Amino acid sequence: MKTSPPAHHASLAEQRRAGTDDSTLLLQELQLHQIELQMQNEELRHAQTALEASRDLYLDLYENAPVGYLTVSLEGVVKAVNHTGETLLDHPRDRLLERRFANRVAAEDVERWQQIFTRVCRGTQAQECELSLTRSDGSQWVARLNCVRHGGAPPSVRITLTDLTARRHIERRLNLAASVFTHAREGIMITDADANIVEVNDAFSTITGYSREQALGMNPRFLAAGLSEPGQYRDLWRRLLEEHHWQGDLWNRRCNGETFPTRQTITAILDGQGQVQNYVSLFTDITELHEHQRQLEYIAHYDPLTHLPNRVMLASRLHPAMARALSMGRKLAVAYLDLDGFKAVNDLHGHECGDKVLTTVARRMKHTLRDACTLARLGGDEFVALIVDLDQVSDSLPMLERLLAAASEPMQLGPLEIELSASIGVSYYPQEGEVSTDQLLRQADQAMYQAKLAGKNRFHVFDAQHDLDLRGHNARLDRIDRAIREGELRLHYQPKVNLRTGQVVGAEALVRWQHPDHGLMKPESFLPWIEGNALSEVIGDWVLESALQQIQDWQCNGVQLPVSINVGARQLQHPDFVANLMDRLAAHPQVHPSMLMIEILETSALEDIDGVTQTLRTCAAMGVRFALDDFGTGYSSLSYLKRLPVAQLKIDQTFVQGMLDAPEDISILQAILGLAQAFGREIIAEGVDNAAQGQRLLQMGCELAQGFGIAQPMTAGAMPAWIDQWQAGPVWQSAAQ
């Protein structure tokens, strides 16, 4: 760098002219030269720093360029490579330098690379190509190579390397998307954010009949057929705004005016800020599916022979009809109709004739009903008429008569003249209790069978109150059955004593129900429900097993107490009664059969005197004793009493409780005591409620008794303590002396 002479040079010249000493002048000149050298050195340092910074910038740009740079000798050996080239080639620099670049080229592209490289080496024109290169793990990637010959010393080839993997992936995706868009069988419609169509595919034009040019710029509502519910479009836009997606079925209109159903999916495309850029709609013509579905729905809801509603359609109409009748204070009738004699016609003349009969009768009966009513075929020759909007029950009678008349009208089928009739069962709604659609149909079905039993060609009205009572009875039976299964039954025991000696001679087992809601229930509040039902046998078996187990438990605790149980007629007359009793006794070998007494009613014995007699003799041979309960209230004769091998007669409590006020009861008691003595039967009085009754019985010679005046029925656990403290009252003791 050339600089202007400093100002002090001029000053030095002036000093010389003025005659200043030369040595002094020389010293000053040397100082001036030193200053000038220092200034030049400073400028050199600044230039060196700038040069180094420029070099570092160049190296950084070179090393970290977005493309790989390689310098390759004319022999194809790599002489230089930047950091990006290392990364792209997936090899460290020391494994790339001084090695042939062709080693990094995929085998299938090596020959092509050699041709390109040769052309570059021979000329000055740049060569560009795309090759597959390999990474260190053997995987391949696509690169673009820009090759230029450099004429330095020695000459070389400069290669610029660009990774095309991402670009190729994007291109493939774009090509695929374009192919899908073009060749998709679904119609595709793309709109801008304002819902104006900006693109459609070929399938759109095929389905709608509108060309691309006709559709561009239009709002999709130009396709609407006006058959979809307005609320559906409101829901569509609400879902698009909130969820950016909607799927459903819409009715559209083709270019020729034909309407058709579509299954459509609409998606909102958002930009980076979440704003809608486009809407994409894919739709399919579902005309065939819609028609097939309509046919399936028809098959599912209508009878294919008569084209009347079937059971499913009837149920769908019956439920709302019941709700409407209830809300409007009106009535409806369900008439269950079965053709009388149809099976004979079908068997005699064949199914084809039978089908014609059914279609003819169905058509005639349908014409007898109002439009608001429904006639349905359930199958075979069974039909149901739903008669609605009745002010009162009697309003249905004319229609029922017309149905009967339509069914019985003669039919001329070719040479055949067919005559049938119908039996109709009718149930009405509303009823006093709650009833379901199925129950209403079952009621009408039951009433129809009653009409058939009554002679056919008539209708019978279902008795809802009787059915309500029956259902209530069944519900009670179900609850008792559950009580047995869930262990809610209990046995209480009422002591039997000898009034003369004060001895406790036994106990009667009495069943109780420990109800979770109603507390302890006595037998008279629930046993009448199961009279004549199989549950009576189940409870009887439970009582027998429980009593035997209790006798065994008492014996283990030193208490010897015979127990009597009550057995009903159904259980006693069961063919397996004796075998079951033997099995139960065998399961409790510690219990002697004499510890068990079975009490039966006179009426039970008299129903089958021969069978009961045989049963009693078989059991007596085993050691089990029997007592005839409520004696005196039945109609047993002396011959019956002689035949029945019972050990004990049990005087009914009605005679005991009336004996002090009714002389005739005293006479009956005396007669019973006389019979017992004559036939050698033990006698016991039940229902002894006070000391006076016990005293009078002792005076008459009856020593055994039970009743509330002696003890209330108690739990098994309370019995031993009661036995320990029991003693006969003073009145009875004085009467015994």
List of domains in the chain: 7-60 (no CATH), 64-168 (3.30.450.20), 184-291 (3.30.450.20), 302-462 (3.30.70.270), 487-736 (3.20.20.450)
Question: Measured between alpha carbons, how far is 656 from 693 in angstroms, rounded to an integer?
Answer: 7
Nearest alpha carbon to residue 270 among 262, 261, 278? 278
Token pair listed for 702: 């009856």
Question: Measured between alpha carbons, how far is 380 from 340 in angstroms, rounded to an integer?
Answer: 12
Read off the amino acid at residue 370.
Answer: R
At residue 154, the 3 state secondary structure works out as: coil
**What are the strands, taking DSSP E only, across 151-258?**
156-163, 187-192, 197-200, 245-253
Q: Residues near 320 by Cβ (< 8 Å), separated by ≥ 6?
A: none
Nearest alpha carbon to residue 539 among 596, 593, 476, 485? 485
Q: What are phi and psi of 29, to 5 degrees?
A: -65, -40
pLDDT at 228: 81
Nearest alpha carbon to residue 695 among 422, 500, 439? 500
**What are the strands, taking DSSP E only, across 591-670?**
596-601, 625-631, 648-651
pLDDT at 278: 93
Pairing mode of beta strands 156-163, 140-150 = antiparallel
Q: Which residues of the chain have pLDDT under 70?
A: 1-22, 47-60, 124, 466-470, 604-607, 632-640, 728-737
| Total count of residues recorded for the chain | 737
Cis peptide leading into 220, omega within 30 of 0? no
Longest dimension (CA), the chain: 192
Token pair listed for 89: 């080639």
Token pair listed for 690: 């006070």
Q: For residues 182 and 201, is the Cβ–Cβ distance under 8 A?
A: yes
Read off the amino acid at residue 467.
Answer: D
Question: Measured between alpha carbons, how far is 411 from 358 in angstroms, rounded to an integer?
Answer: 11
Question: Measured between alpha carbons, how far is 41 from 471 in angstroms, rounded to an integer?
Answer: 122
Pairing mode of beta strands 648-651, 140-150 = unpaired
Cα torsion 74, 79, 82, 88: sign: positive
Q: What are phi and psi of 310, to 5 degrees?
A: -95, -165
pLDDT at 51: 65
Nearest alpha carbon to residue 388 among 368, 365, 372? 372
pLDDT at 59: 64
pLDDT at 705: 93
Q: For residues 314 and 374, is the Cβ–Cβ distance under 8 A?
A: yes
Nearest alpha carbon to residue 596 among 562, 647, 549? 562
pLDDT at 386: 95
Token pair listed for 30: 């040397």
Q: For residues 100 and 89, is the Cβ–Cβ distance under 8 A?
A: no
At residue 672, the 3 state secondary structure works out as: helix
Strand partners, 75: none
pLDDT at 232: 86
At residue 665, the 3 state secondary structure works out as: helix
CA 320 to chain centre: 24
Q: Residues near 73 by Cβ (< 8 Å), separated by ≥ 6?
A: 79, 154, 156, 157
Give the N- to C-terminal CA distance of the chain in Å, as an integer: 163
Three-state SS string over 221-260 comes to HHHECCCCCHHHHHHHHHHHHHHCEEEEEEEEECCCCCEE
Q: For residues 648 and 669, is the Cβ–Cβ distance under 8 A?
A: no
Q: For residues 390 and 329, is the Cβ–Cβ distance under 8 A?
A: no
pLDDT at 1: 47
Question: Measured between alpha carbons, how far is 362 from 384 in angstroms, rounded to an integer?
Answer: 11
Nearest alpha carbon to residue 647 among 625, 630, 629? 625
